[in-house]
Amino acid sequence: MMSVEITNPWTGQVDYRYDYMGSAEVERLLAKSGDAFPAWSASTLEQRGEILKRIALVMRSKKDMIANIMSAEMGKLNREALAEIEKSASACEYYAEHAIDYLRDSNIKTEATRSYVTYEPLGCVFAIMPWNFPVWQVFRFLAPGLMAGNVALLKHATNVPRCADIIAEVLEEAGVPDGVFGVLHIDNVMAENVIGDPRVHAITLTGSERAGRSVAATAGKHLKKCVLELGGSDPFVVLDDADLDKTIPVAVSSRFGNAGQTCIAAKRFIVTEKIADKFIEKFVEAAGKLKVGDPDQADTTLAPMVRADLRDELHKQVQASIHAGAKPLIGCEPGQGASHYPASILDNVVPGMPAYSEELFGPVASIIRVKNEDEAVRVANDTLFGLGASVWTQDKQRGENIARRIKAGATFVNSQVRSDVRLPFGGTKSSGFGRELAEHGIHEFMNIKTVYVE
C-alpha cells in the first residue's frame, strides 16, 4: 500500500501520513453503498431534509476544528475556512427546504389523460473533488445529491484526507445511514476502476482540464452520466466608465482570495485604454497592502499556495510571460513561507504569453489593455475556457448587453463571480459541462422520467 505525506503549506513540515486503501476495503465500501441505496431512495423528502438540517447543525458545532484542518492541509485563511463551512451548512438547509419544489412532478398537457415528468434518483454518485475548497466542493454535489435520494462515494484530493474524513464524521453524527456516504482514499488507477464498477451510476468531477478529459473518457466507455467543472481563465472586463472605488476592492478579492487558487477567480483583467493607467495604479496599490503570513493568524490577508511544486509551476509561467515582454508591476518572485507567492501583477500581457492563454492558478493578475468594448469582448472570448466572467460599468444596460456576448457559464455585472446555491453553476468550452446547484444541479443526477397515461 502506498503511503502519502501531507505537508503544511505554511511551515513546510510533514503533519500527517496515511495509506491508500486496498482493493478489499474499496470493495467493502462499494458494497455498502449499493446496499444502502434502496432504503435511502425510498425515504421521504421530509426525512432526508431533517437529516440535512442536522448535518448543518453538526457542521457549525465543529466549525473551528474543521477550519483548523483546512488551514493545515491546504493553507486556507481561517476566516475563509469558516465562511466556507457556513456556506456548506447553508446549502444543506437550502436543499432541505427547496428540494420538494424542485422534485415535484411536472404536469405537461398533451392529448393523454395525464402526462407528466417525474424525477428518480440514479443510485451511487462517485465524486472526485479538488483541494482548493475542500468542504464546499463536496457539499456542492452532496447536499442536492442526498436530497435527491442518491448515495455517494468521495475520492477527495490526496492532500486533504482529514477534510474528507471529518465530512464523513459530520454526516455520521447527523444520522446519515451507514453506506449512504463513504470516503475512498485511493489513487487515480483505482478511481478509474470505481468509475467502471456497475454499482456506480454517475460521476462528478471538479478539477483540471486534463483530469476532466480522462474521467469523461472512462465514464463514456461505461455509458455513465458525468458532470465536469474544470479550469477557468475568467475575464474581468473594466470599461472606461467603471466606478473604480467599487471595482478595485472586488478586483483584489477576485484575484487574490484563496491565494488565487480558484477556478472562478478573475485572472485576465481586460481594461479599456482610457481608464487603464488609473485602474492599474489603484490595483497595484491595493494589492501591495495584502499581508503574507500564517493562515491561522487574523491579520494575514494572503494565504500560501497549497504546494511548493505548484508555486514553482506558476513562477515558470510568470517568467515565460516576462521573457515574452510582459511587465512585472508588483511581486512576481517567490516569497517567504514553504509555498508562498506574493500578490503579483503583470502589465502589457498579449497573445503568445502564458499569462494570456493559460490558467494561472495562483495570485498573479494579467493586465490586457484594449481599445474599446468590442475588443474587450473579443479578448474575453479568446480563450479555451468559459467558466465565469465579470463586467464593470456604471451603465447597467451596457454591462448586461456585454454579459450576453461573453461565452461563459456565468457573467456577473458589477459583482464578483461566485457560486450561489440559488443559481446554476458550471462552464462551457474547456471549462466542462453540466451544472451544479439550484434546481438544475439536483436534476443532473436523476432519471428525468416521462409518464404517459392514455
Q: Which residues are catalytic?
A: 229, 263
Residue identified by cell 415528468 is 117
* Sheet hosting strand 446-453, strand order edge to edge: 106-107, 114-121, 446-453
Extract the C-alpha cell encoding 260.
Answer: 488565487
Q: What is the CA radius of gyration of the chain?
A: 23
Residues 6+ apart with CB under 8 A from 419: 136, 140, 264, 425, 436, 437
How many CA atoms are closer than 13 Å to the CA of 377, on its beta-carbon side? 12
Helices (H), 340-394: 354-357, 373-380
Cα angle at 17 between 16 and 20, to 5 degrees? 140
90 near 429, Cβ under 8 Å? no
Calpha distance 146→100 (Å, rounded)? 13
Cell of residue 154, nine digits = 468521495
In this structure, what are the phi and psi dihedrals at residue 278, rounded to the nearest 5 degrees?
-65, -45
β pairing state of 202-206 and 432-433? unpaired
Cα dihedral angle (197, 205, 140, 185), rounded to 10 degrees? 60
How far is C-alpha 409 from the chain's CA centre?
Answer: 13
Placement of cell 432504503 in the chain: 39
